[in-house]
Amino acid sequence: MSDLFAASMAGQHTHLAAQAGVLHGFALPFAEALLAGIDAALAAAPLRHLVTPGGHVMQVAMSNCGGFGWVSDRRGYRYDRLDPQTGQPWLAFPEGFLQLAGKAAAAAGFAGYVPDACLINRYAPGTRLSLHQDRDEDDRVAPIVSVSLGLPATFLFGGLARGDKPVRVPLLHGDVVVWGGVDRMRFHGVLPVMPGRHPQLGAQRINLTFRKVR
Ligand code: MD3
Ligand code: FE
């Protein structure tokens, strides 16, 4: 499966809702630039397991690049211009990041998208992300652009209420999901990543989420 299948899907779109969809394989032409940029971003700001306000350690390892980074500790969730671990700004968007986010947003109907934050999520096999809304951004209408790299995952695409039954969406290396407007505040999550090895990334899934925070 995976890469050959992803290539055969490239150029196809899956409609999820009025203002949400999957652009299959859209990031494949950018993959080399993205992996180099991720290495640079993680050299400046290493992946870490953040603590939630409730005192739980998150399964997903996280870092950021761009003007703002999403962080969590016992005091709460927030966006910060500085990495609290180093006191330094996050690495500015590496080559290709803004271009990919802008092109993907435009392909999904959101022209002129300029994000100011990119959260880098790393899933080892077995790691999951429980159902949540992204609600720490001031702008709750601008799209979020999500790029899947490495091992496949099953994404849970829910509704505007926590209790709405989510739809399962398979995501492969190179897939881009864009959601904004009326679908921006949907609940979503990721099922535990299955064991495996990806040719470029090995035993992990990396997800980039571009956001407009301010
Ligand atoms: C939300 N990340 O970082 S992004 C997050 O794969 C996060 O790492 C997940 O949720 C990840 O906050 C999922 C992909 C995504 C795709 C479609 C959505 C999130 C969505 C549709 C509606 C709401
Ligand atoms: Fe999210």
Q: What pLDDT, in 10s, does the model give residues 41-99? A: 999 999 999 999 999 999 999 999 999 999 999 999 999 999 999 999 999 999 999 99
Calculate the CA 101 to chain-centre distance: 11
Kindly list the protein residues whose Cβ atom lies closer than 6 A to any atom of ligand 1.
Answer: 20, 119, 121, 129, 134, 146, 155, 157, 177, 179, 183, 186, 188, 190, 207, 209
* Residue-range definition of the domain harbouring residue 140: 3-211
**pLDDT at residue 10, rounded to an integer:** 85
Q: How high is the mean pLDDT of the chain?
A: 96
For the segment 155-165, the average pLDDT, to the nearest whole number, is: 98
Q: What is the CATH number of the domain that holds 111?
A: 2.60.120.590
**Pair of tokens at residue 87:** 């006191």
Q: What values do phi and psi take at 186, rounded to 5?
A: -65, 145
Per-residue CA distances from 50 to 59, 74, 84, 126 (Å): 9, 10, 11, 17
Distance 189 CA to ligand 1 centre (A): 6
Interatomic CA distance for residues 54 and 193, integer angstroms: 24
Give the whole-angstrom CA distance, residue 51 versus residue 72.
Answer: 6
pLDDT at residue 2 is higher than 60:
no
Instruction: Quote the pTM value.
Output: 0.96
Average pLDDT over residues 206-211: 98
- The ligand placed nearest to the CA atom of residue 190 is 1
Count of domains for the chain: 1
Question: What's the pLDDT band for 135 if we cut at 50, 70, 90?
Answer: very high
pLDDT band at 4 (very low <50, low <70, confident <90, very high): low
Q: What is the pLDDT of residues 174-200, one digit of tens each?
A: 999 999 999 999 999 999 999 999 999
Given a cut of 70, whether residue 136 has pLDDT beyond it is yes
pLDDT at 1: 45
